[in-house]
Amino acid sequence: MTSQCSSRKPMRVLITGAAGQIGYAIVAMAANGDMLGQDQPVILHLLDIEPAKQALQGVKMELMDAAYPLLVDVVATTDLQEACSGVEVAVMVGGFPRKAGMERKDVMAKNVSIYASQARALEQHASKDVKILVIANPANTNALMLKEHAPSIPPENITAMTRLDHNRALSQIAVRAGTHVTNVSNVIIWGNHSSTQYPDVNHGTADGRPIRQVLAADSEWLDKEFVDVVQQRGAAVIKARGLSSAMSAAASACDHVHDWLNGTAPGKWVSMGVYSDGSYGQPAGLIYSFPVTCQHGKWKIVQGLEIDERSAAKLKASADELVEERELALQCIKEAAAAAQ
C-alpha cells in the first residue's frame, strides 16, 4: 500500500486495543486524515491481545478495503515490540476494564501492569519524541504510571484525554444557547477524567460573547445541571445504548492529537490532561487537565485566568482524587515488585 497524494514522509501511529469499539472507530478516522491532517500520510500500527488476533486482522482487511488515500501501510500485531517500533504517535486505548465484583485496587493493579510493559516497549522501540495519548481509564493515572515506567520519555510527551469531556461541554452550551458548536469556545475541563472533573464556562464564549452573559437567565443550569450532565455523560451513553462512548471518544482522540501536532487556533484553547507544573495551585507531578494552547507540537498551559472560590474548591476536589489514585497505583507497583522478588 502506498500513498500518492502527498510528498510528506508517512508518520507511524500506534493504536492499542485496536480491535475494540473505540479502536475500531479511531483507526478509520486516523486513516482518513482526521488525526494528523489531510496532507499527512500515515502508517497505522494496530495492537491488541492474543484472543483478539483474528478480529484485529479483520480490522486490517477493512482498512485496506476502504482504500484510504493517506493510508500507506497497516501493521496489525499482538507483539508489543513490533507494535511500538518507530512510532511517532501512540494512542493508548487498551486497558483492563472494571468488572462486576472487582475492587478498585484490583483494577488499578491490572492497569499498572499493562502500562508498565507498554511504557518500557515505547521507551525502547518508539521514536525518541513519541507523543502519547492515554484514553483507557483511569486515564490520568494510567498516563502517570506510563511516565513512571518510561523515564527517558519527556513528561510533556505523555498526556491523558479530557477532550471528550471538553467537546461534550461545547455541545451542551451550543444547544442551550441556540448556536452552532463551532461558535462556542474556551470552555475548560479541570482535573481528572472522572465524575470529579470540573467543566468550567467562566472564561468561555458563545457567538463571541461571554457564556455567562449569553446564558444570563440560566445561571442555575450552568452551575448545576450543566456540570452534572458533562460529568455523567459517559454513564448516560452506556445507559442509552448499552455500550460505552466509542464514536465520540474516537473523534475526540483525533481532535486531541490533531491540535497537539498542528496547533490550536489563535485566541482559543483546548483541554488536555498534562503533567502538572503546579499551575493554579494544583499539585505538581500529577497528570491533570488544564486549558492549553498548542504550537509546533508542544502544549502550554494557559496562565492568568481568574479562579473564583467556588471553582477553586472543585479544582482541589479533583486533584485530591488524583493524589489518592496516584498513591494507590504506587502501592500496586511496590506490591508487584515485592511479589517478583
Instruction: Give every CB contact of residue 20 below 8 A, 6+ residues apart in sequence.
Output: 48, 52, 93, 94
Instruction: Out of 149, 166, 193, 256, pick the active-site residue.
Output: 193
Give yes or no: 180 in active site: no
H-only helix segments in the chain: 21-31, 53-66, 80-84, 104-125, 139-149, 163-177, 211-214, 219-223, 225-241, 247-262, 309-340
Task: Provide the residue count of the chain.
Answer: 341
Alpha-carbon span 326 to 318, nearest angstrom: 12
Query: How many whole angstroms separate alpha carbon 142 and alpha carbon 105?
Result: 13
Report CA-CA distances (Å) from 279 to 10, 304, 329: 36, 10, 23
The CA distances from residue 290 to 278, 281, 321, in Å, are 11, 12, 16
Which residues participate in catalysis according to the annotation? Answer: 193
